[in-house]
Amino acid sequence: MSKIQELISSYLEENEPKKIYDQIIRELQNCGTVWSAFSPITKNHFVDYVKGRPTAFLFSEKQFCQDYCAHMKESGITVGTAECSAENRLSMFADYHRSGFECIIIDNGKKYVIVELTDLINIPDYSDVKEEDRPVINPSLVCSADRFFQCMENKSVTPDKEINLLVDTYYAKYLIPIQGEPKDGTVSIPALERNDGLKVVPFFTDIAELKKFDSKGQFNIGAADYTQIESFCNTGETVVINPMGFNFTLTKPTIDAVHNAINSVPQKGKAQRAVIYTPPRLPKALVDGLNVMLDEVDEVRAGYIKGLRKDEEDQLLVVIDCGDCDPETTTAIIDGIREKASEIEIKEKVEYLAASSRIGNTAIQESQPFFERVIVDVSIPPENY
């Protein structure tokens, strides 16, 4: 058993686990080889959402990581292993930050623990640095792009994933390779020829991705934003963001899709990220109270409770199935339940939705209801039955 597994076991059994948690952090920072789940699709660390947060998957033993890969393959998702030695540990954690991760789950599938990335490395704070002097890094774009292209493999892309990718593309800053010295305000960007013979214009989210393209430092580096991407695409060129990474290809139709996404997002700067997940525990008072309330309303067929992480805040989502009720009746039922449930004393924020709504319908897919009305057929059978 690895030292990390021993510590995790102690952590889960300890009444005051803070001391053990700190030992886990030190072991992760300094131990020998560890293995990170890696996506060959995006050529970056595999990302998934755990309790609504972008999460990396790290393993203390190679077999643990291989078991996770086999498990994901059953779901149609290809995951590989990336080995990391102690001397490269800091670089890997920095790469996690570059990729938009907030936390790391250690030894998923075994006895596991979730740790905060900020407990492993110090995240630079550039809030007091002028924007033009800050290093170009785009954690949100890298995370949303990696997640989007991972989901394309098993056809699980949803509209919110696509919107987040397009909106993040619009607001990102980029690095571009420059051929020679700029002359007369004109920048020459070297074209990249793809395997299919198409020449594309490369843009990069950060210096790590650019170095994959220019490992020998042959080019100067310039800064760019989405307006340059749009300009190239509008003249018939093809732009590729991170060609050695998630390889996002943009053409004129993509530019139109970006504008549509921007127009659909009410908040400037980002999409309203809504992640639905199964909460680890449910407030007993809420479940008990709702069971009584839903049972009293004949039209209610079922009730579900999910976790909802939106704009980095967690809340509970109660989804109510009102059967064949018309929208007006459904709204009245849910409003009534919301009003009664507001008297239940719980610390969690709760939102109530109809199962017929877009988010409600998404939330209850492959979910088990906490309340389900049993319909008994009491009709009289025919005489010759």
pLDDT > 70 fraction of the chain, expressed in percent and rounded: 90
Partnered with residue 302 across adjacent β-strands are 321, 372
136, 143, 287, 337 from 132: Cα distances, Å = 9, 23, 51, 51
> What are the pLDDT digits (tens) for 60-100?
999 999 999 999 999 899 999 999 999 999 999 999 999 99
CA 198 to chain centre: 31
Q: What is the pLDDT of residue 308?
A: 81
What pLDDT is stored for residue 262 in this prediction? 83
User: What's the mean pLDDT in 274-295?
Assistant: 86
Q: What global pTM score does this model have?
A: 0.71
Q: How far apart are the first and last CA of the chain?
A: 64
Domains of the chain in start order, with CATH, are: 3-119 (3.40.1350.90), 131-264 (no CATH), 274-372 (3.30.70.1350)
Q: What is the dihedral of CA 153, 156, 160, 162, to 10 degrees?
A: 30
**CA–CA separation, 352 and 341 (whole Å):** 10
Cβ contact 78:41 at 8 Å: yes
User: What's the whole-number average pLDDT of the chain?
Assistant: 88
- Selected residue with higher pLDDT from 299 and 184: 299
pLDDT digit string, tens, across residues 319-356: 999 988 998 999 999 999 999 999 998 888 899 999 98
